[in-house]
């Protein structure tokens, strides 16, 4: 059996940077808690994306949770959230006992529709926060979204879990809002085996990020005994995981280049197939192309491609199933704007986008897909 090709799997540096930083943690016995790798991972990531401060946490999901808390989302508050996303975007709204209102997508970006967002503000002017996602490494329309949210004076949290490195005219996704969140889960563009980061560029970024670190370490007050005035969480990143992260940051640009190469390879090979179109990558953004996704409008359906690849031990997936269609979330409000999220889901496939793939493998995948059209 040929080796399995994955959608997106961990890819450590050929140079062994990760091992060096993890070894340092062992040598100094700073396995846990915290330590130099955590501090340096925060400052190094901050300087790459251009944020004032950053807190390294145990997961992207935990990072979204504490970012919501940092903008004051509490029980009964409304939070706008795109419907087309992974459930990890929406779950932390529920952790805070707040209420998600799901927003339809824009077909030009696949992300939150500014028109649907305007409708949502008219219906729920008392909304507490807006969660924006940059899906598959595609940037949301931040020009419009930021200006709408500014007009209503409502804070923005960017779920940039999938878009580390994606920029809009040179500015990193995750740095447009009050808080930005990255994920280092095993399938993301770089990984720490599991982890997340909250960044901020607010005036009070230092204070707010310090508060997030405090909540993430059980809200321990500075006292000799264990004193707690607030609810705490065990959400900090370990010094070992941060060592892997520091190594991975050194190859982030290589990973972005390879993801973009994969996107362009598929595009060149498959662009003439009838009814097949590619996810929109615009010239105003530099997308990290985390996953290459396509839409199908002809007689070949997503399941045909998924099954044909699966038969050859190659992993591909449907597009995220929208939150308003999920049994757990279907009772919440949904601002529809042409059912774009549903159409993207029904017609979409994520193609294998693993950065370890070689040209022979890409060629094999394209041959299987083209074979469905003959």
Ligand X SMILES: *Cc1c(COP(=O)(O)O)cnc(C)c1O
| Stretch of residues binding ligand X (CB under 6 A), selected from 138-146, 157-165, 209-217, 248-256 | 157-165
Q: Which is nearer to ligand X, 81 or 362 (CB)?
A: 81
Active-site pick, 19, 20, 40, 188: 188
Q: Which is nearer to ligand X, 8 or 201 (CB)?
A: 8
Annotated catalytic, 258? no
Q: Give the Cα separation of 48 and 312 in Å (integer).
A: 39
CB of 94 to ligand X, least distance (A): 14
Binding pattern for the stretch 113-142 against ligand X, x by CB under 6 A and - elsewhere:
--------------------x---------
- Residue 261 buriedness (CB in 10 A; 0-12 / 13-18 / 19+): middle
Radius of gyration of the chain measured on its C-alpha atoms: 21
Q: Which is nearer to ligand X, 214 or 320 (CB)?
A: 320
Q: Which residue among 10, 35, 60, 302 contacts ligand X (CB under 6 A)? A: 60
| Stretch of residues binding ligand X (CB under 6 A), selected from 6-14, 82-90, 97-105, 363-371 | 82-90
Q: Which residue among 162, 178, 285, 342 contacts ligand X (CB under 6 A)? A: 162
57 belongs to the binding site for ligand X (CB under 6 A): no
Q: Which residue among 46, 61, 167, 175 contacts ligand X (CB under 6 A)? A: 61
Which sequence positions are flagged as catalytic? 188
Residues in contact with ligand X by the rule CB under 6 A: 59-61, 85-86, 88-89, 133, 159, 161-162, 183, 185, 196
């Amino acid at each position: 059996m040929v080796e399995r090709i994955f959608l997106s799997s961990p890819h450590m540096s050929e140079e062994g940077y990760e091992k060096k930083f993890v070894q340092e943690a062992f040598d100094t016995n700073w396995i846990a808690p915290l330590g130099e790798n955590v501090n340096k991972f925060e400052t190094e990531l901050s300087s790459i994306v251009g944020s004032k401060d950053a807190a390294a946490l145990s997961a992207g999901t935990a990072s979204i949770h504490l970012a919501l808390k940092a903008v004051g989302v509490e029980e009964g508050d409304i939070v706008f959230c795109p419907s087309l996303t992974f459930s990890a975007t929406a779950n932390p709204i529920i952790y805070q006992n707040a209420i998600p209102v799901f927003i339809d997508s824009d077909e030009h970006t696949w992300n939150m529709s500014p028109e649907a967002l305007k409708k949502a503000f008219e219906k729920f002017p008392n909304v507490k926060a807006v969660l924006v996602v940059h899906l598959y490494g595609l940037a949301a329309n931040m020009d419009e979204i930021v200006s709408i949210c500014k007009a209503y004076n409502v804070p923005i949290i960017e779920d940039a879990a999938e878009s580390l490195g994606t920029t809009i005219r040179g500015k990193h996704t995750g740095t447009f809002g009050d808080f930005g969140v990255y994920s280092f889960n095993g399938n993301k563009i770089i990984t720490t085996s599991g982890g997340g980061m909250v960044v901020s560029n607010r005036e009070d970024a230092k204070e707010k990020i310090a508060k997030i670190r405090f909540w993430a370490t059980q809200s321990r007050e500075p006292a000799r005994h264990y004193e707690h005035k607030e609810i705490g969480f065990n959400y900090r990143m370990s010094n070992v995981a941060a060592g892997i992260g520091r190594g991975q940051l050194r190859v982030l640009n290589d990973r972005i280049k390879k993801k973009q190469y994969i996107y362009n390879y598929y595009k060149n090979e498959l662009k003439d197939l009838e009814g097949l179109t590619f996810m929109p990558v615009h010239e105003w953004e530099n997308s990290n192309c985390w996953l290459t996704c396509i839409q199908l409008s002809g007689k070949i359906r997503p399941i045909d491609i998924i099954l044909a690849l699966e038969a050859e031990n190659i992993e591909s997936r449907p597009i995220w199933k929208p939150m308003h269609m999920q049994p757990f979330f279907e009772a919440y409000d949904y601002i529809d704007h042409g059912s774009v999220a549903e159409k993207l889901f029904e017609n979409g496939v994520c193609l294998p986008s693993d950065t370890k793939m070689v040209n022979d493998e890409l060629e094999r995948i394209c041959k299987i897909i083209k074979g469905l059209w003959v």
